[in-house]
C-alpha cells in the first residue's frame, strides 16, 4: 500500500515573513499523507524550525552533482541533508529548460541525492509540441531511461517519480485525470521492469488546484501531487493535502491535531 504524498515546490518565492505566516496558517499533514515542503534553500533552516513538532518533512529543489568543490553558487545534497532536508526534486522542467540540465546531468543529480541519503523526486514530462506530435510517451520514457537504466534496483528504493507535463506547469491547464492516469500507468509499467512498480510513488504536477485535486488523486496510479503555485497559499495547500487523504474531506487550517 503506497502512502499518499503531497509536495510543495515553492520555487523562488517567499521570504521570512511569508514562512512565519504560512506556518501559522497551515496546520499539519493529514493522517495518512506525507507532506513535504521544498522552500528556497536559503529558507530551509527557518522552515524546519517553523514547523518543528509537526509531521511536515522538507526537501530542496535542486542539488549539485558532487558533494563539495569550487562550484560558486551551487549547493550539495549533503548540505541540504545537513540542514534538515529529506527529499530533493531532481530534473524539474525549469532546471532542464532554463539551466540546461540534460538527461545525463539529471541522472547524476539523482545519484547525488541518493548518495547523500535524500529521497529523490524525479520530474519527467513532455512539452506541448512533443504531445501534439505524438511524442509524449517517448519523451517521458527517454527521461526515465536516462536515470533508471543506470540505477541499480536499490537506488530506486524511496525514489518518487513526478509526471509534470510542461504544458500544464504554471499555465492553469491542468491535465485531465484521464490524461494524467494514462501517463502514470505507462510510468508504472516502466518501473515494473526495474522491479519497483508497486512501491514507487508517482505524483502528478502541473496547475493542481484545490478543486480538481481529489479527481486527480482518485486515479489508480496517481499517489499524490507536486504542487507549485497553489502551495504558496496555506489554505489551498491544506485543501490539496486533505484531498490526498480522502477525496470528500473538508479542508481546515490552524489544526495541529492531525485530524484535518
Residues that bind ligand 13P (CB under 6 A): 9, 92, 164, 169-170, 205-208, 226-230
**What is residue 33's DSSP assignment?**
E
For the chain, where are the alpha helices, taking DSSP H only?
A: 16-25, 44-50, 77-83, 93-98, 103-115, 128-132, 136-148, 153-156, 177-193, 210-217, 234-245
Q: Report the residue number whose CB is nearest to ligand 13P.
A: 228
Cβ within 8 Å of residue 114, ≥6 positions away: 120, 155, 159
**What is residue 18's DSSP assignment?**
H
Q: How far is CA 172 from CA 56, 115, 164, 199, 207, in A?
A: 27, 36, 13, 30, 5
Q: Catalytic site residues? A: 92, 164
Candidates 88, 196, 204, 202; CA nearest to 151 is 196
- Shortest Å, Cβ 9 to ligand 13P: 4
Beta carbon nearer to ligand 13P, 37 or 194: 37
Planar angle of CA 207, 226, 197, nearest 5 degrees:
125
- What is d(CA 140, CA 186) in angstroms, rounded to the nearest whole number? 9
Cβ within 8 Å of residue 142, ≥6 positions away: 103
- Shortest Å, Cβ 256 to ligand 13P: 26
- What is d(CA 237, CA 242) in angstroms, rounded to the nearest whole number? 8
Amino acid at each position: 500500500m503506497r502512502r499518499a504524498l503531497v509536495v510543495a515546490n515553492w520555487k523562488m518565492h517567499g521570504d521570512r515573513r511569508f514562512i512565519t505566516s504560512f506556518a501559522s496558517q497551515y496546520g499539519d499533514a493529514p493522517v495518512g499523507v506525507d507532506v513535504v515542503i521544498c522552500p528556497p534553500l536559503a529558507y530551509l533552516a527557518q522552515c524546519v524550525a517553523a514547523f518543528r513538532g509537526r509531521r511536515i518533512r522538507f526537501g530542496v529543489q535542486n542539488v549539485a552533482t558532487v558533494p563539495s568543490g569550487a562550484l560558486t553558487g551551487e549547493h550539495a545534497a549533503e548540505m541540504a541533508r545537513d540542514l534538515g532536508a529529506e527529499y530533493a526534486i531532481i530534473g524539474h522542467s525549469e532546471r532542464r529548460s532554463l539551466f540546461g540540465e540534460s538527461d545525463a546531468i539529471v541522472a547524476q543529480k539523482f545519484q547525488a541525492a541518493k548518495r547523500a541519503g535524500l529521497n529523490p523526486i524525479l520530474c519527467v514530462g513532455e512539452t506541448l509540441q512533443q504531445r501534439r506530435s505524438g511524442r509524449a510517451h517517448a519523451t517521458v520514457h527517454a527521461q526515465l531511461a536516462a536515470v533508471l537504466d543506470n540505477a541499480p534496483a536499490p537506488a530506486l528504493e524511496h525514489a518518487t517519480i513526478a509526471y509534470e507535463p510542461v504544458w500544464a506547469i504554471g499555465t492553469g491547464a491542468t491535465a485531465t485525470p484521464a490524461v494524467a492516469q494514462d501517463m502514470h500507468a505507462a510510468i508504472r509499467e516502466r518501473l515494473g521492469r526495474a522491479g519497483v512498480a508497486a512501491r514507487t510513488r508517482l505524483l502528478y504536477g502541473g496547475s493542481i488546484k484545490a478543486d480538481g485535486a481529489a479527481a486527480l488523486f482518485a486515479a489508480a496510479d496517481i499517489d499524490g501531487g507536486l504542487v507549485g503555485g497553489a502551495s504558496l497559499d496555506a489554505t489551498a495547500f491544506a485543501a490539496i493535502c486533505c484531498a490526498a487523504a480522502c477525496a470528500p474531506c473538508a479542508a481546515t487550517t490552524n489544526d495541529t491535531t492531525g485530524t484535518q
